Structure 1
């Protein structure tokens, strides 16, 4: 498994109260998980993301690197 790095853009798998997957940038790398600053998410998860201050900790295996699309 490739090691994640701070600043890497990843897709996080839905878990807990999340209804959908989300995307964001890694802020911190732990031994088995990463802290993601959530930047893109489904509107149905808006309240939950706000309650979590736009951050989520996910297992490294559930954070998949993605390419950032130009907007």
Structure 2
């Protein structure tokens, strides 16, 4: 698995009240999880994403790298 870094664009698996997967940019990396700024999501999850202020903490194992930040 590639090392996740701040600025990487990732896909997050649905969890909790999310009905669908989502995508966004990593804002912070923790030991076993990442804070994702949610940028793309299904409209069915619109209210939940708004309540979470467009952010979610996701286990690293549940975050799939979609695009690497250019250094």
Provide the TM-score with structure 2 as the length reference: 0.92
CA distance in structure 2 between the partners assigned to 1:14 and 1:50 by the alignment: 15
Question: 2:15 is matched with which residue?
Answer: 15
Shift of 1:2: 2.0
Distance 1:4 1:67, change over 3 A: closer
CA distance in structure 2 between the partners assigned to 1:67 and 1:51 by the alignment: 26
Q: Which runs of 5+ in 2 are unaligned?
A: none
Q: Is residue 2:28 matched to residue 1:28?
A: yes
Query: Structure 1 segments of 4 or more deviating over 2 A?
Result: none
Question: 1:43 is matched with which residue?
Answer: 43
CA distance in structure 2 between the partners assigned to 1:67 and 1:27 by the alignment: 14
CA distance in structure 2 between the partners assigned to 1:67 and 1:10 by the alignment: 7
CA distance in structure 1 between the partners assigned to 2:57 and 2:17 by the alignment: 13
Higher RCO structure (Cα 8 Å, ≥6 apart) = 2
